[in-house]
Structure 1
């Protein structure tokens, strides 16, 4: 699904070679425009990251930069939706929708709740996808085998159409990835309408289970650049989402042949407190950290609590821009303080994306 990609030099060469009879001033002006953040050659409003689906962004950020937030379905969903700030997002992934024993998506959300997400998204020029999978998803192997796959794909496409969604995000992880994952995403890519999105959330630790053919089906990849350690390794105390890991993860997928603009760097809005040894107590939201510890937003560590503060999040946004990657993904958006708060990570992302444009 990776669309044709026009790099800077080709764009400049194209302009120089065109018989446009432009004087030198206009030609130089055009070249400057191409090199500036936010200008592009071609007619795609999603910038040169051109999703092959033709599903353009709303240009909320320069150069089609994406800010994608996962919206959790567990807990009090209506409250989750209420506190989630869509104004600084370009995309929301509802996490999660998973099949029941018959292959139908679970009723995590009723139709009215899905409609409420879509309505809030439209009011904020945000696209909405349903995300399948997650770390504790049910087994997918039976649904994706040759006997059931056609019906399952058809049910997914119908769900997207019925609920006026913009696409599907695949977050099937680790041991839950069946041997026919490639066939599944290929079939799904073919059946989704051209204007719909097909994306994936992938981690470095199991990426060797995803074939190059499968990678090529996705409009972009949400790189889960976090959880280098955590409750499953309580003796490995330290940062779970470092800047170095972000570099490593982007490098890995680029070496796999994924264009940088198709890579969305995932950042955590949570941390781990290693003074505990159970997952229920170890996980802690960024909101809880900064509300309990004044000034914590300016650090990445408090005693045995490891997380990402404003400075690291800002540096990761700069890394994305330096690498010409596609944007930032957030896990997950209800874990932040309000974006009007100076401690907000979403606010920091928003400000840094525009920094080079406004300064």
Structure 2
């Protein structure tokens, strides 16, 4: 027969205190970076350029899943990659992002009328370009390539090249993504399966003098919905959100500059500035950014891409916080 020993009141109190301390310590455990990433396999992407290199160690990388370094172009004569930053700049970026479990990408850009992208893929140097791109990515330990071609002159040619490039990447385990304009369907549905994600750049939507409200809620939702309605699965689509403002003459204003100088309220999307064309700077405020992110989550899209983290401000007016607060809530997502 077992003998039960009585426990004194002091011993009971001590055991209770120990139990309470253990529970408190568990509740106060410091979250890991994995805990700070978006829920439901969503993506949070930022772009980053050599001009931002001074901010590399200032950015809170913990919430991001992917980061895109800008940029390389290509010489159509021989498919050589062309860039102006020192080699260690990209290496430092790759090391920093990987240390925070963020996928590092390189952007191949074609933002101007004189871009060499389309002349290259339509020339005999096409295969050399692909080989050089693979070698470049492997040498730096990059996760993949982001094609940022503006404008897309031929969606079918572009889509065919996406399929070819992604297929060529398979042996190197490289990924492919694209950033696209928001007014037209720039990629065809059959190519979407070959892409990791598609950033619908829902800013500078009407990039003309006299239209400074370049990224309203309505225009942004219409932009991402355009791609879904055009046959692109929601689980491939990111909504692009700007961390900058515009005036009536398309002047560019960093969000951290706006926040520091004008201290706008969370609901404000413009500030008065008599010295700029039109007298107003238009931007995305905290509430608007939160509303856009909420739409992305509730409608089953893949996530958000920001342009760009170095333009943010790390205080109570942080746009990044407005996004991550939504992405971490675990809001129920619709099917894609």
Give the TM-score band, short-chain normalised: 0.7 to 0.9
How far residue 202 of structure 1 moved from its aligned partner, in angstroms, is 0.8
List alignment gaps of at least 5 residues for structure 2: 1-33, 273-279, 332-336
* Alpha-carbon distance in 2 for matches of 1:146, 1:342: 51
Deviations 1:264-307 (A, max 9, x none): 11100001022xx3x5xx11011111111023443111131111
Deviates more, 1:329-338 or 1:81-90: 81-90
How far residue 178 of structure 1 moved from its aligned partner, in angstroms, is 8.1
How far residue 179 of structure 1 moved from its aligned partner, in angstroms, is 6.6
Match of 1:284 among 228, 234, 253: 253
Matches for 1:127-206 after TM superposition, within 5 Å? 127-136=103-112, 138-174=115-151, 180-193=157-170, 195-206=173-184
| Counterpart in the other structure of 2:284 | 308
Alignment pair present for 1:256 and 2:230: yes
Structure number with greater Rg is 2
* Alpha-carbon distance in 2 for matches of 1:183, 1:350: 35
Deviates more, 1:101-110 or 1:198-207: 101-110
Deviations 1:150-189 (A, max 9, x none): 1111111111111100000011111565873233222111
Q: Secondary structure at the match of 1:98?
A: strand
Question: Is 2:36–2:62's contact at 8 Å kept on the other side of the alignment?
Answer: no
Cα distance change on mapping 1:228 and 1:180 into 2, 3 Å: closer
* Alpha-carbon distance in 1 for matches of 2:127, 2:178: 20
Question: Is 2:202–2:215's contact at 8 Å kept on the other side of the alignment?
Answer: yes
Q: Secondary structure at the match of 1:96?
A: strand
Q: Secondary structure at the match of 2:215?
A: coil
* Alpha-carbon distance in 1 for matches of 2:284, 2:158: 33
Q: Secondary structure at the match of 1:299?
A: coil
Cα distance change on mapping 1:161 and 1:218 into 2, 3 Å: same
TM-score (norm 2): 0.79
| Counterpart in the other structure of 2:301 | 325
Question: Is 1:111–1:163's contact at 8 Å kept on the other side of the alignment?
Answer: no
Alignment pair present for 1:91 and 2:66: yes
How far residue 196 of structure 1 moved from its aligned partner, in angstroms, is 2.2
Cα distance change on mapping 1:356 and 1:142 into 2, 3 Å: closer
Moved over 6 A (4+): none
Alignment pair present for 1:213 and 2:190: yes
How far residue 342 of structure 1 moved from its aligned partner, in angstroms, is 1.3
List alignment gaps of at least 5 residues for structure 1: 1-56
